[in-house]
Amino acid sequence: TFYFIGQEMKRTQELRVITGFIASTNDNETTTLGRGGSDFTAAIFGAAINAGEIEIWTDVDGVLTADPRKVSDSFIVEELSYEEAMELSYFGAKVIYAPTIQPAMDRGIPVRIKNTFNPAHPGSIIKKDPGLNTNEITGLACIDAIALVRVEGGGMVGVSGIAGRLFRSLAKEKINVILITQASSEHSISLAVEPKNSTAAVKILREEFAEELRLGRISSIEKEEGLASIAVVGANMRRRHGVAGRVFDTLGKHRINIHAIAQGSSELNISFVIAADKLKQAMSALHNEFFFDRRKVWDIYLAGPGNVGSKFISLLRGKNDTNDIIKLKGVISSSKMLFGDDILGEPDPVDALRQGGEKASSAKFLEQILADENPFKVFVDCTATEATLRYYEPLLKAGVHIVAANKVANAAEKGFYNGLHEAGKTGDSQFLYETNVGAALPVIKVLQDLLNAGDRIVKIEGIMSGSLNHILTEVWSGKKFMEALEEAKAAGYTEPDPLVDLSGVDVARKLLILVRETGVNVSMEDVIVEPLAWKNITGAVEYLDIDTQVQEAKNRGNRIKFVASYSEGKMTVGPREVTPEDPLYSVNGVRNAFIFYTTLYSEFPL
């Protein structure tokens, strides 16, 4: 072919326009070159005349880092090697036909991919020694649908010729093997083939190894469909440590199981097989890991955009210096819910929920979170109700992290509480609830650190309600109890229904959570509560005579504090008179205080 092309080119120096795709057989009969035939024609002619460069004009700007239908933020690879281009093409990159590379590579001629519809774009250049790409990998390629054929059996161990017979029998029927893996024990061989060939492949292999199957040397020859393959390609993998580790760690974090793995000895390609319905997720995750600055994109789903929730949204909107990217993808209130690519972009996210949200549905909200393919998802519970508890266990088991200001879950009955904390271990997710007890104070973290260091908690005391502490401080300063209560409610210090605070139940929950952290198996029924207010048998609210108690204590130089205490297995919550020597005496206003008496902090508590 090269000889005839050379002779024709010597005949005249005029510009030649050559028909691609058309060729002739050895018998001089006209034929076609099949898929990519025009590109192949260009490469053959370019190599024959030793051209300075071969240009392939197509409908994209060049070779992309990944299929844009799978990865929306894929981008052009400016330079890549012949080998990288062939690997990407073989494993699904459609921009160039793999055989096109060979003639150019043999002559060392660069191949440039250009876009017919965007001729000004420089495109991608494929050459012997690309110098621009310093990334660990060059690109990702995928095959959307493949099937695995597995041959298994103890009788294959140490028996020569098994693989040869396998390939020969498939080759006779023109069944192409895309990928092959074999266990080091020689107990199993897995072959990736096109799904349309899987049934035939199984039939052929069962016929080929009929005797081995009969004798039990091969236990099974089966197929598995609904799979896809991904190839991670890059010449720089040869000089970098840990690339394979990062690939599989990323897939693991995204909870994507691997069915088969293969890596060539050239270290140019790591290929693996996964479930087809995980393909897009896997491609996107790997692309983010290797082609961006490793910043995580966190998808936040918020329940309860009230006082606490709206402040949380404000914190998110003001957090511009984080190393990660944070998006608010969903918000749900008691009546409405709203989803979006990033609700933080709204002028007023809470108002956007009120104006444009749809009717709230707990089932749909949970479904939306679970359907989100981003592995870095957080459900933030800023409610104070039991309604959100149905989310917790399925989310944790699915790998979704939970951050809860809502303390109901950790104060729930023992079975639910224990199951909840086990669910986090199952899903490899975190359940974080620091604000359950001390608001901004890292109380739970301190307690956990003490326990992890081998310390033992002997006694816990504290002021665990800023609202009640504020009211009692105001009464001590001279105001009437009801006046101080109304002012605290107006300032947003109490719950909308102040009885939630005055009943002591909220403080009891906080104390219960702390005691449970120490490993003691207790429940709300074990907490003795003396409330400041309660409902009597008729439903009317009655109040403790706090004004008198505070005044009498003041006359003695003391204060009344609403104290939670745990000691010797007993938990109590209620008003207590404290002397000036008590550490809680000077804790006033909306402040909280916690005292830990431990084995190590016995004489001077923490």
Q: Are strands 297-303 and 336-339 parallel, antiparallel or unpaired?
A: unpaired
- 3-class SS letters over 242-278: CHHHHHHHHHHHCCCCCCEEEECCCCCEEEEEEEHHH
Amino acid at 74: S
How far is 330 from 301, CA to CA, in rounded Å?
5
The answer to whether the beta carbons of residues 410 and 331 sit under 8 Å apart is no
**Helix 546-555 / helix 466-476 crossing angle, nearest 10 deg:** 60
How far is 561 from 558, CA to CA, in rounded Å?
10
Tokens of 404: 């809860």
Apex 116 CA angle, 113 and 117, nearest 5:
125
Instruction: List the one residue out of 554, 550, 584, 64 whose CA is nearest residue 287.
Output: 64
> How many helices and strands, by DSSP H and E, does the chain display?
21, 26
- 3-class SS letters over 119-152: CCCCCEEEECCCCCCCCCCCEEEEEEEEEEEEEE
Apex 40 CA angle, 35 and 44, nearest 5:
160
Neighbours of 503 (CB within 10 A): 19
Identify whether 407 is a catalytic site residue: no
Catalytic residue among 10, 510, 554, 570: 510
- 3-class SS letters over 530-587: CCCEEECCCCCEEECCHHHHHHHHHHCCCEEEEEEEEECCEEEEEEEEECCCCCCCCC
Instruction: List the one residue out of 503, 522, 551, 502 whose CA is nearest residue 460.
Output: 522
Owner of token pair 């990323």: 250
Q: Give, in order, the Cα–Cα distances in Å from 263 to each of 193, 231, 237, 244, 258.
A: 17, 9, 11, 9, 14
As annotated, the active-site residues are 510
